[in-house]
Structure 1
Amino acid sequence: MNKFAEMHFFVAVVDAGSMSEAAKRLGTTKSMVSQRMQQLEQRLGVSLLARGRQMMVTEPGQIFYAHSARILAEVSEAENAVLAGQACMRGSLRIAAPMAFSIGHLAPMLARFASLHPELRIDVEADDRRVNLNDENYDLAIRLGTLQDSSLVAKRMAVNRHVICASPEYLAERGTPARPEDLQDHDGLLYVHREPHGMWQLPVDGEVRSFRIRNRMRTDSGHQLMAGARQGLGLAILPTFLCADAVASGALRIVLPEFAPSGGMVSAVYRQSHRASLKIQTLVNFLIEEIGYPPVWELPIQEQLQAVSSDRSEKTNF
């Protein structure tokens, strides 16, 4: 068995998280995969995998995986370069994406992408859970927020800006907070994945501080947060990709803009072994172009701000 084949088997095992799942993806048997791994370890003279109830990759295994994934990716990239002129986007592409971002923006973008590549089958799972690309058979995931250090390749596509907002009716009745300390006198709509303890983490003077706000509603749905805010239930922290139209129409107003928390980035992530994939690179480049800079969802807010500024200027000149 040649060394490239050994690398391919080993990378498949690490990516799949188990020999049985790797066997399914490789179209062979678990015993064959196990035999190949034993032969590889014997040839190298080190243990690459710690076998037990849960398979773990040893330190030498992590080093060998990183080099193997890079080498296989470079080989694939070389082949793609030769075939680029006649390459056709076909086969399947499995994508995991967050629900809220998919509904308003990603879904139509992926539909347009699919229409451009009729021989490509796209399988999209829209769910706010964070899938493990090494344990589940996804080609790519769209992630929101700050990414944790990992072996995955990450491509940043846009800033995920967040704002604090509320309905005009709520602010007229309860007043507009002038500083984060005022939040203790206000009702808050809490996102359970970000504020499990009922505290908002806001940037103040270059550091992040915690501020308590009354728990009016808790949810794991961004759309539920926005519906509650529009109904006048309280203050909410929302991504602009979700609330831009409501802010532009006046249904929601931004408060405490200088203390808005960071939402990180909108990123595409995929495994090292997929870094030379023509399908993935084509999709990522397409999404970056579709999103634009500034992001397309920010445009309604900018247009509204420009209109307000122009109106004020006309009144001043008059």
Structure 2
Amino acid sequence: MTDPAVPADRAEPSDRAAGALILAGTPLGRISDASPGLARALADADVIAAEDTRRFLRLAADLGVDLHAKVVSFYESVEAARVPGLVDRIAGGQRVVLVTDAGMPSVSDPGYTLVAAVAAAGLAVTSVPGPSAVITALALSGLPSDRFTFEGFPPRKTGERTRAFGALRTEARTMVFFESVHRIGESLAAMAAVFGADRPAAVCRELTKTHEEVRRGPLGELAAWAADGLRGEITVVVAGSSGAGDAPPDDATLLAEIAALVAGGKSRRDAVDQVAATYDLNRRSVYALATARR
């Protein structure tokens, strides 16, 4: 029974009489990092929505949890279809625990739409706090952590990725990104071209796992180091702009972005205007560069 001295929104998930959505943080690597609260929430759940059911069942077995819950998949492709049914279960008094493959649900993982739907229905949402790759990498990076921005995964397409970095070129806060093993070399090279090869950064790989590695240095050096690809789960932390001396993107980067905008349907003139505005460059100089290389 819930302690009447504890506000309802602060009660332990396992103590709730009414239905609730419980966001459960799972270990990034070591099973020993799992909290007792995670095992308790899983054991007490009526339904467990898991990003990868097979991976979750291995986790539950490693934790020694005797599951009584119905386990359903909850990954990107089925997320929208699953939400109404899960909301109905919560409204009916059941406890639904959401787990993703590692870290906290809804942080570049499935979960946001379910949280929003449950909250909109006036139902309870709580959590079993757990590890976060964002905070762990930020703390290990050695870069300023008093103010930061989490940018998730950069766009996959070259032009879109360059534009996304361009919009962040003067961001003063430390920036945290996720990236896949297949695109890390390209992303670091694009960061070096847009933010400047000397901008301090850190690449954090396989956090809390056996082969954990944190490589710190200027973006240019990190891009060269990762050019042939890396293995494992990767988080990149990049220092914010100092506000002075930020190098403008090189000509190749500007031309690539203009070409991408033109390929996307913009006129060359509009593409030049957008690129010049993004990087606060003289429009005539950018236009001269674009026409000279045609």
Q: Please, what TM-score do these two structures have when normalized by structure 1?
A: 0.27
Q: Please, what TM-score do these two structures have when normalized by structure 2?
A: 0.28
More helix by share: 1
Is the radius of gyration larger for structure 1 or structure 2? Answer: 1
More strand by share: 1
